[in-house]
Amino acid sequence: MDQLQGKVAFISGAASGIGLALAKTVAAEGMKVVMADIDATELERVKPQLAGAEILRLRLDVTDRDSWAQARRAALERFGAVDMLCNNAGIGPDGRELVDMRPESFDRMIATNLTGIFNGIHTFGADMRARRGGHILNTASMAGLMASARLGAYTAAKFAVVGMSEVLRAELAPHHVGVTVYCPGLIHTRLEETTRALGNESIGGVPMDMAMGPMEAVRFALQAIRNNELYAISHPEYRSEVVKRVERLLDVFGPEQESTRPLRKLPGTDTLSD
């Protein structure tokens, strides 16, 4: 999607952080923007930051499918079909080891960070497929490409978002709908505050002196959307850790050689490639 002028973007988690930066950036490119967030007060507070842009602000709980259906109706009524869906809303980790994590916290993490993204795909994906055009951006994390202790449920959700995005891209590519999964590192956001507001503990005490600003970070996501790239990476300093993980996997396969065993596909599927 290289032409943004006059098109419609729907952004969840748009009241702060990456979501707000996305809204500002695409609005400056001439897009009409639906800013959705569970915090309606914060949406109103940031209103002056997008003065002059064509904006629709909606309260959206990404775990509530009725809320998504209402948001879709409002977006269609105000601006028409959505061309760019940014599934960005999420909550942060609580810093507990998995065996010590409260089940309700785990459930909330998966419901928000994984099922919430599926809900967005379910709400708008079929429209894009039918129109044969559009782009979906799913915000994952560097935690979706590498594992760290005490980030268990968060990592589980983000790994799943990466895999789900890879599948979605393969499914929608024949219909000219692009899919990008954004895997940022540390960014200045209100994630800790919003996580606690939704009832989950937050890891707290994360040093922000080296964190990237959200406006700088979203440039990488927007570039990937323009170029229809599957992965958007804004923090190259994590490359060595991701390489280590991939190398550990490749080592299990043994020496590089052509196998005599045929590749078995699941019934009705094709090999995923990009």
And the tokens for 273?
A: 């490639």
Distance of CA 18 to the CA centre of its chain: 10
Which one of the listed residues 154, 182, 231, 238 is annotated catalytic?
Answer: 154
CB 112 within 8 A of CB 61: no
Give catalytic status of residue 154 as yes or no: yes
The verdict on pTM exceeding 0.85 is yes
Domain contains 272: no
Q: For the sheet containing 55-59, what is the strand order?
A: 55-59, 32-37, 8-12, 84-87, 134-139, 177-182, 231-232
Report the mean per-residue pLDDT for the chain: 89
Q: Taking Cα atoms as reference points, which of 35, 141, 15 lies closest to residue 84?
A: 35
**CB contact set of 31 (below 8 Å; sequence gap of 6+):** 4, 5, 6, 7, 8, 9, 83, 84
The predicted model gives 213-223 an average pLDDT of 94
- CA angle 174/88/213 to nearest 5° reads 120
Domain contains 260: no
CB 87 within 8 A of CB 120: yes
Residue 203 predicted with pLDDT over 80:
no
CA–CA gap between residue 150 and residue 135 (Å, rounded): 33
Strand 134-139 versus strand 32-37 pairing type: unpaired
The predicted model gives 85-106 an average pLDDT of 93
CB 34 within 8 A of CB 109: no
Confidence band, pLDDT 50/70/90 cuts, at residue 266 = low
Q: What local confidence, expressed as pLDDT, does residue 273 receive?
A: 47
Q: What local confidence, expressed as pLDDT, does residue 2 receive?
A: 80
CATH code, domain carrying 229: 3.40.50.720
Domain residues for the domain of 50 are: 8-253
Query: Could you give the dihedral angle defined by the CA atoms of residues 16, 20, 22 and 24, in that order, rounded to the nearest 10 degrees?
Result: -160
Looking at residue 176, what DSSP letter applies? T
Domain contains 118: yes
Residue 105 predicted with pLDDT over 70:
yes
Domain contains 88: yes
The predicted model gives 92-107 an average pLDDT of 91
Domain contains 265: no
Our count of domains for the chain comes to: 1
Domain contains 274: no
Of 3 and 66, more confident: 66
Strand 55-59 versus strand 32-37 pairing type: parallel
Domain contains 258: no
CA–CA gap between residue 43 and residue 39 (Å, rounded): 6
Domain contains 268: no
